[in-house]
Amino acid sequence: MAGIEWTWLVGGYFALAGVGAGAYLASATADLVKSERYKPLVKPGFYISLPTAALGAILLVLDLGRPERFMNVFNSPDTSILSLGAYLLTIFVPLSFVTAVIWALAPRIPTRMRVIIEMLGGIFAFGVALYIGLLLGAAAFRPLWLTPALPWLLFISSMSMGLTAIGLALLAYKDYKTLTDAFRGLHKNDLILLVLLAIAIVGFLATNPDPEGVSVLLTGAMSAAFYGGVLLIGIIIPAAIDLYALRRDSGKPLGRSLIALGLALPLAGGVILRFVILFAAQL
Amino acid sequence: MAKYAILFDASKCVGCKACQVACKSWYELRSEATVLGESFNNPPDLTSNTWIRINFVETEGEHSLEWHFQRISCLHCEEPPCAYNCPTNAITKYPEGPVVIDQSICIGCRNCIQSCPFDIPRYDAQAGVVFKCTMCADRVSVGREPACVESCPFDALEFGETETMLGNAKTRAAAIDGHVYGEREAGGTSVFYVTQAAPREVGLPEVSPQRISERISQLVTQTGLIGGGAAVVLVGLEMLRRRKSEVAKTGGGR
């Protein structure tokens, strides 16, 4: 039987593209709805999006047996989701670059141009975050991936990863105590995304056509990573931290290390989720 | 243009592996190191150098142990998932039947391996590209049979026009009270198997009759419907929240 064909380079690409697309979407949304509360998130989000998405694309090319021929993915006619992803990335990464430049040069760039670029970038970020589940679903040899819940599961996870990556960046380079409102918003949105993620995981398992693959996740070789990594580290502990932060009477941000933990865990959980799903189907 | 297919009649196969040798010989493929494994399978799996092998499956019959031999190689699907999902168009389904990988275009993404429901293509890490059976497209194009078919001493392998092969398969299956495999799988293929036991019992994978294009459009539609449904619910919830906060504001003045 064919073995594990897609390993850590592909998993790494899924994770980095997820962070990049999620961070871009979160920032573009915050900027386009002119949110005062989330204003501090916008710039770091775009700065995260560019290097993660670009590095992800590089990993994807390095995974090829003949990386020097990667331009062949643009051969037409294209019926493969893999080609669709290549087009999405090829447009998204430059848009992400342009957006980062705009924010580096702000306020010298007219707002209208920024809005247009961010809307376009947002559409492609959405595509990048969503298509990976479709790519996996099209792989007829791996029934575990054939469910319409998977694209949305990975999409929600991308948003969660992007948002928490932005939060970590805010923690690292600003006096975070002054950002009470932004952090409250981060905790709230993180919690919402974690709840949606849990629902999507249930959907993925419930609609799955591959009982053998599901048992690899729930009781087999990947069960420790699934329960410990995806559920406990990725959802339960960070959700508890978010709840604790939101329920505090003072409303002040938590200590730096506790916030960092609350943000790093969903990010780690998102990475583990991708590897678990990638490997469970190929075992 | 005639369209061709291979018929493999498992009830005639004696497991001599002449087809394996003929394939190696025609394509000058390296031999594999012998491995002692389960049953008499050798080599135990397809590789980038072994494009056809005979699988030995033992089942318990009424009074004795029964041996079943199965051809494990490409079925040359009518709408090959490997070709459909190949991002470079390195894989072509020829109108005559063969599905062929052009290794000079292949980028080694292995999406074809993930996409083949019959588990056929194999990656050569050294060459960085994927290989599989070609149905001897080169021989077929000059009017010859595939090497495996020509070498079969018991006529367990037959080659001819698709309709004839399918007709022969059905007639033979009816005569031995057996099964035809490959007619419906993956939406239809260019290789038909006749098996005495149920295909699943003799190691042939259960493959959905859905074509890959249908599978993907169904997946995309369902994904879109879920997204649309979720968007409606989220917008509804947001409107409800706004209405509530408006009511709370006006209510406060009362």
Q: Tens digit of pLDDT per residue, chain A (283 long)?
A: 888 999 999 999 999 999 999 999 999 999 999 888 888 899 999 999 999 999 999 999 999 999 999 999 999 888 999 999 999 999 999 999 999 999 999 778 888 999 999 999 999 999 999 999 999 999 999 999 999 999 999 999 999 999 999 999 988 866 777 777 888 889 999 999 999 999 999 999 999 999 999 999 999 999 999 999 999 999 999 999 999 988 886 667 778 889 899 999 999 999 999 999 999 999 8
Amino acid at B234: L
Strand order of the sheet with strand B179-181?
Answer: B157-161, B4-9, B191-195, B179-181
- Per the CB < 8 A criterion, the answer to whether B202 and B70 are in contact is yes
pTM as predicted: 0.94
Is residue B126 scored above 60 in pLDDT?
Answer: yes
At residue B34, what are phi and psi to the nearest 5 degrees? Answer: -70, 135
CB contact under 8 A, B115 and A139: yes
Give Rg (Cα) of chain A. 19
Closest by Cβ to A137, choosing from B88, B128, B219: B219
- Closest Cα in chain A, distance from residue B128 (Å): 4
CB within 8 Å: A141 and B216: no
- Note whether ipTM > 0.90 here: yes
Q: Which residues contact B57 (CB under 8 A, 6 or more apart)?
A: B39, B67, B68, B69, B70, B201, B202, B203
Q: Which of A160, A162, A166, A175 is nearest to A256 (CA)?
A: A175
Q: How much is the pLDDT for A2? A: 86
Residues of A in contact with B231 (CB under 8 A): none
Q: Which residue of B has its CA nearest to A138?
A: B216
Is B147 near chain A, with CB under 8 Å? no
Q: Which residue would you say has higher pLDDT here, A58 or B42?
A: A58
Neighbours of A220 (CB within 10 A): 15
**Res. B254 pLDDT band, cuts 50 70 90:** very low
Q: Would you give the distance in Å from CA B38 to the centre of its chain?
A: 23
Q: How many CB atoms lie within 10 A of CB A154?
A: 28
Residue type at B146 in one-letter notation: P
B128–chain A Cβ distance below 8 A for any pair: yes
Nearest chain B residue (CA) to A70: B107
- Min distance B122 CA to chain A CA atoms (Å): 7
The kind and range of the H/E element at B57 are strand B53-60
Contacts of A130 in chain B (CB under 8 A): 223, 227
If one compares B38 and A210, the residue with the highest pLDDT of the two is A210
Q: How confident is the model at residue B186 (pLDDT cuts 50, 70, 90)?
A: very high
Q: B67 in helix, strand or coil? A: strand
pLDDT at residue number B253: 47
Chain A residues with CB-CB distance to B208 below 8 A: 140
For the segment B180-195, the average pLDDT, to the nearest whole number, is 97
CB contact B222 to A (< 8 Å): yes
Q: How far is it, in rounded angstroms, from Cα B121 to Cα A103?
A: 47
- The answer to whether the CB of B172 falls within 8 A of the CB of B189 is no
Q: Give pLDDT tens digits for B173-182.
A: 999 999 999 9
At residue B248, the pLDDT reads 84
A84 → chain B, closest CA residue:
B87
A139:B85 CB<8 A: yes
Nearest to A82 among B109, B208, B227 (CB): B109
Alpha helices in chain A (DSSP H): 8-32, 39-63, 81-105, 111-137, 149-173, 180-206, 211-218, 223-224, 237-247, 256-280
Q: In chain B, whose CA is at the least distance from the CA of A63?
A: B109
Angle at A279 between CA B55 and CA A149, to 5 degrees: 110
Report how far residue A61's alpha carbon sits from residue B40's, in angstroms, rounded to the nearest whole number.
40
